[in-house]
């Protein structure tokens, strides 16, 4: 019994000393004194989680983008934690914990509306039945637990594979990520072709990180994207929607867009737009302005809607389709409606856009021709349209890009500045109706 207790105590001690882990592969430990990550820049909730795990004897590391961004002196978007505790063990430790995910089970620890994601180290699949790839090498399931040395190889870029160890505040680096952060370089871990095939979304992630961090993309990771971008078409449209939002709604939409074009990926996400934009300087300018305005709004903490950006991205192909129907003699509003429906149905096969946004996109598009109204009740109906503001902003960007005259937009700018009385004068019917004649019968009765 005594022997058993002693053994148990020793086991516990070993668990509680993650800093002394025997790292067998080439590993660089950057001690606290040598890197710039300070706990005062780490989210309070994340620290609570890290300390909670550590005190319970588990390994606890801040990982991924948070370590990368902290090393760069930037504020991370989110703070992810990696541990050797299983999701169930994490749940047992934190009352505010919920387990999510099927592909890979994760623990979400809730602090009000704020969530800290805790992932158990992932392991190698080997011949296991629980980790599966399809014929093209794409990972379909990914739910084998492992240790930190295995976890590191599951991550995408070296700069995303650094671990900040709460046990001694060091940074653990297995793949040269620390140097790559310093050099501003994005490098996939392992064989690039294989890693892209495993998860084609990594091609979008490299464009995004390059835009966000102004990092260069290592030569070894460039060729595959240019040649094999088409494998993006195997990725579910809903996942691509999430990734596209991250590309365009994180304050660096212009750079991301340029990256997508440079690496010929736009045609796999927005095929009709890619064709319609090719060589169309005005349409490109318009899109550039739309992205610039999105970036500015995000930097100023103003709200943005995916509908506006998608409406802008698909504006050029919408016009191509509409022109074709007009040439066939369709009336304008019908041609626009039909084109919008067909374009949206085709687009959502690639990047699925939720219906609540496609409806707003269609409103923005439909308003554009209605902005030519200048008198009467029709002006009112445009002005009172729930999407007037988005439609008007869209109109002004078109004018700025030189697609339409500045005057078209100025008229509406002035109209909005007017007092309600002055607005009423414009929206009142111009031709006064003659007073109704009295019915004959009245006359005879008098
Ligand atoms: P940011 O949050 O700034 O967009 P991030 O690097 O934190 O960037 P997340 O999408 O939050 O990116 O993912 C967290 C971490 O999970 C990444 O840093 C990376 O280590 C790993 N990861 C995420 N997606 C993938 C992927 N598709 N393939 C491999 N590893 C991934
Ligand atoms: Mg992150």
Testing ligand 1's pocket by substitution, the residue of 70, 79, 156 carrying the most ligand atoms inside 8 A of its CB is 156
CB–CB of 306/245 below 8 Å?
yes
Please report where in the chains the tokens 């297995």 appear, as a residue. Answer: 174
Residue 242 lies in a domain: no
Residue nearest to atom 12 of ligand 1 (CA): 65
CB–CB of 311/397 below 8 Å?
no
Last residue within a domain, chosen from 117, 150, 183: 183
Between residues 8 and 125, the one the model is more confident about: 125
Last residue within a domain, chosen from 158, 183, 208: 183
| Cα 79 to ligand 2 centre (Å) | 6
| Cα 125 to ligand 1 centre (Å) | 20
* Residue 188, φ and ψ in degrees, nearest 5: -75, 150
**Averaged over 73-88, what is the pLDDT?**
96
Q: How many domains does the chain have?
A: 2
**Local confidence band at 126 (pLDDT 50, 70, 90 cut-offs):** low
The pLDDT of residue 127 is 43
The pLDDT of residue 20 is 39
Testing ligand 1's pocket by substitution, the residue of 65, 157, 159, 207 carrying the most ligand atoms inside 8 A of its CB is 65
**In Å, what is the CA distance from 113 to each residue of 22, 66, 94, 109, 116?**
38, 19, 16, 10, 10
Average pLDDT value over all residues in the chain: 88
How many Cα atoms occupy the beta-carbon half-sphere of 34 within 13 Å? 12
The range of the structural domain enclosing residue 402 comes to 273-426
Is the C-beta atom of 80 inside 6 A of ligand 1? yes
Q: Which atom of ligand 1 is nearest to the CA of 199?
A: 27
Residue 322 lies in a domain: yes
> Above 80 in pLDDT, residue 429?
no
Is the C-beta atom of 155 inside 6 A of ligand 1? yes
**Do 158 and 16 share a domain, yes or no?**
yes
Is the C-beta atom of 78 inside 6 A of ligand 1? yes
Is the C-beta atom of 151 inside 6 A of ligand 1? no
CB–CB of 45/116 below 8 Å?
yes
**Do 63 and 172 share a domain, yes or no?**
yes
> Above 60 in pLDDT, residue 23?
no
**Do 179 and 322 share a domain, yes or no?**
no
| Cα 291 to ligand 1 centre (Å) | 24
**Do 277 and 178 share a domain, yes or no?**
no
Is the C-beta atom of 65 inside 6 A of ligand 1? yes
Testing ligand 1's pocket by substitution, the residue of 42, 46, 64 carrying the most ligand atoms inside 8 A of its CB is 64
- Ligand number nearest CA of 119 is 1
Is the C-beta atom of 202 inside 6 A of ligand 1? yes
Residue 221 lies in a domain: no
Q: In the structure encoding, which two tokens stand for residue 328, read together?
A: 């066939």
Q: In the structure encoding, which two tokens stand for residue 292, read together?
A: 């610039």
| Cα 351 to ligand 1 centre (Å) | 20
> Above 60 in pLDDT, residue 30?
yes
Residue nearest to atom 16 of ligand 1 (CA): 64
Residue 82 lies in a domain: yes
Q: What are the contacts of 352-358 at 24+ separation with CB within 8 A? A: 352/237, 352/238, 352/240, 352/241, 353/241, 353/306, 353/310, 354/241, 357/305, 357/306, 357/307, 357/310, 358/307, 358/310
> Above 60 in pLDDT, residue 50?
yes
> Above 70 in pLDDT, residue 19?
no
Is the C-beta atom of 64 inside 6 A of ligand 1? yes
| Cα 383 to ligand 1 centre (Å) | 43
Q: What are the contacts of 390-393 at 24+ separation with CB within 8 A? A: 390/305, 390/307, 390/308, 390/311, 390/360, 390/363, 390/364, 391/363, 391/364, 391/367, 392/367, 392/416, 393/293, 393/308
**Do 178 and 283 share a domain, yes or no?**
no
- Ligand number nearest CA of 161 is 1
Hey, is 99 helix, strand or coil?
A: strand
CB–CB of 171/67 below 8 Å?
yes
Residue 117 lies in a domain: yes
| Cα 76 to ligand 2 centre (Å) | 7
**Averaged over 373-385, what is the pLDDT?**
77
Q: Which atom of ligand 1 is nearest to the CA of 119?
A: 16
Which residues are part of the catalytic machinery?
Answer: 78, 80, 156
CB–CB of 273/265 below 8 Å?
no
**Do 148 and 294 share a domain, yes or no?**
no
**Averaged over 398-424, what is the pLDDT?**
83
Residue 357 lies in a domain: yes
Beta bridge partners of 132: 141
The pLDDT of residue 389 is 92
**Do 169 and 302 share a domain, yes or no?**
no
Q: What is the pLDDT of residues 321-362, one digit of tens each?
A: 999 999 999 999 999 999 999 999 999 999 999 999 999 999
- Ligand number nearest CA of 106 is 1
Residue 156 lies in a domain: yes
Testing ligand 1's pocket by substitution, the residue of 119, 160, 191, 206 carrying the most ligand atoms inside 8 A of its CB is 160
Last residue within a domain, chosen from 183, 214, 247: 183
**In Å, what is the CA distance from 127 to each residue of 130, 133, 199, 213?**
9, 11, 19, 37
The pLDDT of residue 33 is 96
The pLDDT of residue 69 is 97
Q: Which atom of ligand 1 is nearest to the CA of 78?
A: 2
Q: Give the closest residue to 30 by CA, choosing from 188, 168, 199, 220.
A: 168
Residue 200 lies in a domain: no
**Do 138 and 277 share a domain, yes or no?**
no
Q: Terminal CA-to-CA distance of the chain, rounded, Å?
A: 120
CATH number of residue 325's parent domain: 1.10.3090.10
Q: What is the pLDDT of residues 271-280, one digit of tens each?
A: 999 999 999 9
Residue nearest to atom 11 of ligand 1 (CA): 65
CATH number of residue 147's parent domain: 3.30.460.10
């Amino acid at each position: 019994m005594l022997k058993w207790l002693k053994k148990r105590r020793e086991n516990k001690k070993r668990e509680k000393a993650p800093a002394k882990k025997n790292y067998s592969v080439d590993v660089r430990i950057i001690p606290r004194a040598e890197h710039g990550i300070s706990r005062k820049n780490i989210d309070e909730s994340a620290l609570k989680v890290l300390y909670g795990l550590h005190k319970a004897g588990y390994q606890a590391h801040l990982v991924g983008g948070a370590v990368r961004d902290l090393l760069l002196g930037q504020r991370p978007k989110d703070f992810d934690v990696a541990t050797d505790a299983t999701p169930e063990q994490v749940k047992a430790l934190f009352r505010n914990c919920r387990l999510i995910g099927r592909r890979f089970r994760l623990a979400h620890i809730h602090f009000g509306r704020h969530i800290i994601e805790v992932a158990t180290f992932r392991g190698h699949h080997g011949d296991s039945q629980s980790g599966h790839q399809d014929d093209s090498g794409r990972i379909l399931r990914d739910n084998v637990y492992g240790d930190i040395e295995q976890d590191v190889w599951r991550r995408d870029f070296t700069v995303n594979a650094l671990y900040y160890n709460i046990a001694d505040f060091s940074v653990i680096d297995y793949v040269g990520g620390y140097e790559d952060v310093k050099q501003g370089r994005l490098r996939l871990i392992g064989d690039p072709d294989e890693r892209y095939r495993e998860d084609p979304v990594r091609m979008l992630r490299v464009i995004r990180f390059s835009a966000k961090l102004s990092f260069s993309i290592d030569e070894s990771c460039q060729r595959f994207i240019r040649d094999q971008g088409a494998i993006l078409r195997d990725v579910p449209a809903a996942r691509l929607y999430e990734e596209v939002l991250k590309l365009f709604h994180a304050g660096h939409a212009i750079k991301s867009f340029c990256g997508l074009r440079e690496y010929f990926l736009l045609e796999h996400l927005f095929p009709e737009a890619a064709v319609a934009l090719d060589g169309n300087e005005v349409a490109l300018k318009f899109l550039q302005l739309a992205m610039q305005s999105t970036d500015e709004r995000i930097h100023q903490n103003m709200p943005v809607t995916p509908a506006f950006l998608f409406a802008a991205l698909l504006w050029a192909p919408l016009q191509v389709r509409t022109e074709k129907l007009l040439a066939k003699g369709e009336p304008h509003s019908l041609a626009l409606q039909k084109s919008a429906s067909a374009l949206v149905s085709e687009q959502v096969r690639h990047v699925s856009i939720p219906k609540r946004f496609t409806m707003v996109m269609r409103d923005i598009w439909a308003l554009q021709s209605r902005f030519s109204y200048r008198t009467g009740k029709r002006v009112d109906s445009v002005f009172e349209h729930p999407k007037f503001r988005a439609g008007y902003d869209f109109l002004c960007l078109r004018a700025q890009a030189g697609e339409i005259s500045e005057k078209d937009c100025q008229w509406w700018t002035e109209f909005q500045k007017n007092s309600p009385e002055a607005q009423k004068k414009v929206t009142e019917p111009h031709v006064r109706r003659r007073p109704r004649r009295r019915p004959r019968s009245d006359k005879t009765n008098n």
